[in-house]
């Protein structure tokens, strides 16, 4: 990936990895530019994987301009609100139709594959670093938010994913040293032990890779307007099912697994956490031939409607 480069980056040229709960932190974390930037670092140039002409801008504009430029003017909602304190949820149609990647010839099906691949990479990387699932999930959501504003053609998704996990580990208060994150990322990306890579790559390859991750971190922060807060469905799911005496059932474990699987989709861009929790509980009950409607007012506890539950559960089903 070369951030703000003059080359189009073909997502097909990246190495793909093969597919392989803890309670979330709900505190809002918004970091200032003074906290993260202004280090005066000199960034080494990124290595471009493809030298085809680019449709990407040579500079990263401010978040408001970036969002407005990224989304088609025909979309129903004002994308400038994406920089507000509270998240703005998009419809699936808006995400698929207005993605910046469309302008670079990447269709919705291809983008779904790219999304799945960086989520698989993140899952493997997070497990390698012994991070909790909540932190891994936060990194996935940060990537989803990034690529709803930026084209896949302009950014190495695995580099963005590595930087997103480094950021998520800090925002979720489960920090890992940058060198450890970079080392694990290299080993997973190249499918080689770090000691062997030293014989295959240039002398300063690790320093270059590290600087690329640092630059990607700054691009993510700029694109997301330093907003790293992510709320997950794990807490409302377990809390509400516990209220109905279902906390120790197979239903809970299956629903939690469905939530984790759902991280590979765009659901976190579309729905509130308790809506995703409701859809996962409904689908888990359906798999187990259980009738949750026998528990009076259970869907009211999730603060959702039948239409939302059906929509979420249908999108979860599509992942299998």
pLDDT digit string (tens) for 228-244?
999 999 999 999 999 98
Cα-based distances in Å from 55 to 52, 59, 164, 184: 10, 12, 24, 32
Q: How far apart are CA 11 and CA 153, in angstroms?
A: 6
Q: What is the pLDDT of residue 173?
A: 95
In this structure, what CATH number is given to the domain that contains residue 247? Answer: 1.10.472.10
Tell me which of 187, 204, 223 is where a domain ends.
223
Q: Which tens digit of pLDDT belongs to each residue from 141-180?
A: 999 999 999 999 999 999 999 999 999 999 999 999 999 9
Q: Based on the fold, state whether residues 199 and 241 are members of the same structural domain.
A: no
Q: Based on the fold, state whether residues 208 and 259 are members of the same structural domain.
A: no
Q: What is the pLDDT of residue 162?
A: 97
Q: Based on the fold, state whether residues 254 and 274 are members of the same structural domain.
A: yes
Q: Which tens digit of pLDDT belongs to each residue from 295-310?
A: 888 999 999 999 999 9
Tell me which of 192, 223, 254 is where a domain ends.
223
Q: Which residue range is the domain that position 264 belongs to?
A: 234-317
Q: Cα angle vertex 88, ends 125, 134, to 5°? A: 25
Check: CB of residue 153 under 8 Å from CB of residue 56. yes
Q: What is the pLDDT of residue 196?
A: 66
Q: Based on the fold, state whether residues 167 and 256 are members of the same structural domain.
A: no
Q: Based on the fold, state whether residues 169 and 251 are members of the same structural domain.
A: no
Q: Based on the fold, state whether residues 216 and 245 are members of the same structural domain.
A: no
Q: Based on the fold, state whether residues 247 and 167 are members of the same structural domain.
A: no
Question: At how many degrees (to 10) do helices 178-190 and 157-171 cross?
Answer: 150
Number of domains observed in the structure of the chain:
2
**pLDDT band at residue 29 under the 50/70/90 scheme:** very low
Q: Based on the fold, state whether residues 195 and 99 are members of the same structural domain.
A: yes
Q: How far apart are CA 144 and CA 267, in angstroms?
A: 10
Whether residue 229 is contained in a domain is answered as no
Whether residue 91 is contained in a domain is answered as yes
Which of 11-15, 202-206, 246-250 is most confident? 246-250
Whether residue 140 is contained in a domain is answered as yes
Higher-confidence residue: 58 or 250? 250
Q: Based on the fold, state whether residues 121 and 199 are members of the same structural domain.
A: yes
pTM over 0.85: no
Q: Based on the fold, state whether residues 266 and 150 are members of the same structural domain.
A: no
For tokens 């765009």, the residue is: 266
DSSP per position, the chain: --TT-SSB--GGGSPPPPP--PPPP----B--HHHHS---PPPPPPPPS--B---S-SS---HHHHHHHHS-TTSSS-GGGGGSSSPPP--HHHHHHH-GGGGGT--HHHHHHHHHHHHHHHHHHHHHTT--HHHHHHHHHHHHHHHTTS-GGGS-HHHHHHHHHHHHHHHTT----HHHHHHHHHHHHHTS-HHHHHHHS-TTHHHHHHHHHHHHHHHHHHHTTTB-----SHHHHHHHHHHTT-TTSHHHHHHHHHHHHHTTTTHHHHS-HHHHHHHHHHHHHHHTT--GGGSTTHHHHTT--HHHHHHHHHHHHTT-
């Amino acid at each position: 990936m070369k951030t703000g480069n003059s080359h189009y980056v073909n997502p097909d040229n990246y190495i793909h990895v093969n597919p392989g709960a803890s309670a979330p932190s709900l505190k809002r974390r918004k970091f200032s530019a003074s906290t993260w930037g202004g280090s005066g670092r000199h960034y080494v140039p990124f290595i471009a994987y493809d030298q085809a002409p680019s449709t990407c801008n040579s500079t990263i504009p401010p978040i408001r301009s970036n969002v407005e430029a990224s989304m088609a003017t025909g979309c129903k909602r004002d994308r400038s609100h994406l920089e507000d304190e509270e998240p703005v949820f998009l419809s699936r149609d808006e995400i698929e139709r207005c993605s910046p990647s469309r302008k670079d010839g990447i269709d919705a099906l291809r983008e779904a594959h790219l999304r799945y691949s960086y989520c698989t990479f993140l899952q493997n990387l997070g497990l390698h670093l012994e991070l909790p699932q909540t932190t891994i999930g936060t990194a996935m959501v940060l990537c989803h938010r990034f690529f709803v504003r930026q084209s896949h053609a302009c950014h190495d998704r695995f580099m963005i994913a590595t930087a997103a996990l480094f950021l998520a580990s800090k925002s979720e208060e489960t920090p890992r040293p940058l060198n450890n994150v970079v080392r694990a990322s290299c080993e997973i990306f190249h499918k080689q032990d770090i000691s062997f890579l030293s014989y295959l790559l240039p002398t300063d390859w690790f320093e270059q890779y590290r600087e690329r991750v640092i630059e990607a971190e700054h691009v993510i922060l700029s694109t997301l307007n330093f907003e790293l807060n992510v709320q997950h469905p794990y807490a409302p799911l377990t809390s509400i099912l516990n209220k109905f005496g279902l906390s120790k059932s197979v239903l809970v474990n299956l629903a939690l697994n469905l939530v984790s699987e759902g991280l590979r989709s765009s659901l976190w861009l579309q729905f509130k956490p308790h809506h995703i929790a409701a859809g996962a509980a409904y689908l888990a009950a359906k798999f187990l031939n259980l009738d949750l409607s026998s528990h009076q007012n259970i869907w009211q506890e999730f603060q959702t409607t039948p239409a939302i539950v059906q929509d979420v559960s249908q999108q979860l089903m599509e992942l299998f």
